[in-house]
Structure 1
């Protein structure tokens, strides 16, 4: 109430006492004698209450605001591991695949054993084909709308493996990523020149060329495989690229991201504008001298840093 409230209470009590005394001399005398102690106690109590409220209000003005309290999960809630165990295997593996595609996993060497059937069903089923088609359609829409110069220096970069050509026949014999990568076995597959084209990528490749982009094929394959790579690409309908860039001996110990960043930097030094880049690995797309737009194709079978 504050000081004003306390003063009002005291004034009301005094006026009541004066009115009682004016009513009848005899009655007032008796009433005053009977009620004076009670009135006095009431006035004192009101004054004390007003003083306490004033002190409490004064204290509240100096108390700091209550800090934000973060409610932690109840200790009765199951830990993350227990929650994951309760999920169906298909859900856990779909989450793993999403995390792999979004580059949210630490570098991984092979598909988890329990998820190998999930990955097999995905890459051999309609979902993988639908995902590839969607990436190609979005890429083509961007290519058609991208502002281009009239100097012939607008470039689009394509990776090869799992971007233009599919190695699913090889991975079908190696657990769809369940087995650790075997360079020797994969090189033998490459030398057969039998990798089929990814249909949506072939369509995108042709449209990009028709739009006037310079097409650079930038692959982690070694220079020793140039002949079989050209043979394989031509058999599958890929023709007339502007550059085919493969790893030289000096690139052997570089990560894919370092190697491809350096090659893109060389393109820019030659005056090219890298408007688009298509690859199945984040290392195809990240690093330096990145494209204006990059398009990630799905690949849950292997990871290349």
Structure 2
């Protein structure tokens, strides 16, 4: 079969372009990576993504040893997750499941059925702060974080705000239990109200007697005090396992995603 002149011209042009990219002159060939290396780089990139996904899963399942920072190779992965749809979808499914459970419980009429909420990365998002500090790549700095808290501008985590309102409307006593210091009570109250949260029953912050206690001990002790006061802890929402485990556990707990930091 004889090709028309125009097709022959296009065909030779394509060959010319192809060879011009694949056979560089000797003086610049060291700037060009062979195709197999490009493929290997792509595979390596996918390998890093898969390993970081597995690392995040292990963290959410509480299978990791205590860690101080996000692994360096996972910094970009965590950033993409926290600023993308994946984080939002994960928050939504946790809140939806918590809401279904909250609706399924027959509450008593004595007003002592309680639901506990953590604050940071549970009700309020500190993502603006962590965006400026490597999304967990930098070692946590208490002083810098306190400076952020004092600004009182942390936005609401929207799925949590919806759950919070539903839990209130169902008749639960809402108790806020946070690792924030008592000295930040006023700014925390203002921040919560400005973000849309209202009508909580108690707001518990770390007092001077709680300084230096591991979070899991501090929060277990506070839950124990609630039980001594007659409260039945039916639900508990938090982004750290230390919010949820220990003693005096809730009937059901709900872990929100957070691959940026770990608190024991």
Match of 1:276 in 2: 235
Match of 2:64 in 1: 105
Match of 2:83 in 1: 124
Match of 1:3 in 2: none
The partner residue of 2:135 within 170, 176, 181 is 176
Match of 1:89 in 2: 48
Match of 1:15 in 2: none
Compared with structure 1, are the counterparts of its residues 86 and 243 closer, same or farther at alpha carbon in structure 2 (3 Å cutoff)?
Answer: closer
Compared with structure 1, are the counterparts of its residues 114 and 210 closer, same or farther at alpha carbon in structure 2 (3 Å cutoff)?
Answer: same
Spell out, residue by residue over 1:166-222, the C-alpha distance to the aligned partner (whole angstroms, 9 max, x if none): 000000000000000000000000000000000000000001000000000000000
Match of 1:69 in 2: none
Match of 1:158 in 2: 117
The partner residue of 1:291 within 247, 250, 257 is 250
**3-state DSSP class of the match of 1:155?**
strand
Match of 2:160 in 1: 201
The partner residue of 1:211 within 146, 152, 170 is 170
Match of 1:225 in 2: 184
Q: Give distance in 1, aligned partners of 2:67 and 2:105.
A: 35
Structure 1 stretches lacking a partner, 5+ long: 1-84
Within a 5 Å distance, the mapping from 1:12-51 to structure 2 comes to none
Aligned length: 221
Match of 2:16 in 1: none
**3-state DSSP class of the match of 1:185?**
helix
**3-state DSSP class of the match of 2:151?**
coil
Spell out, residue by residue over 1:221-268, the C-alpha distance to the aligned partner (whole angstroms, 9 max, x if none): 000000000010000010110000000011011100000000000000
Match of 2:9 in 1: none
Match of 2:97 in 1: 138
Spell out, residue by residue over 1:144-163, the C-alpha distance to the aligned partner (whole angstroms, 9 max, x if none): 00121111110000000000
What is the TM-score normalised by the length of structure 2? 0.83
The partner residue of 2:217 within 258, 261, 266 is 258
Q: Give distance in 1, aligned partners of 2:90 and 2:45.
A: 28
Q: Give distance in 2, aligned partners of 1:86 and 1:121.
A: 14
Q: Give distance in 1, aligned partners of 2:203 and 2:45.
A: 49
Q: Give distance in 2, aligned partners of 1:262 and 1:299.
A: 24
RMSD: 1.0
Displacement of 1:140 in angstroms is 0.3
Match of 2:26 in 1: none
- Aligned: 1:148 with 2:107: yes
Match of 1:42 in 2: none
**3-state DSSP class of the match of 2:160?**
helix
Match of 1:246 in 2: 205
What is the TM-score normalised by the length of structure 1? 0.72
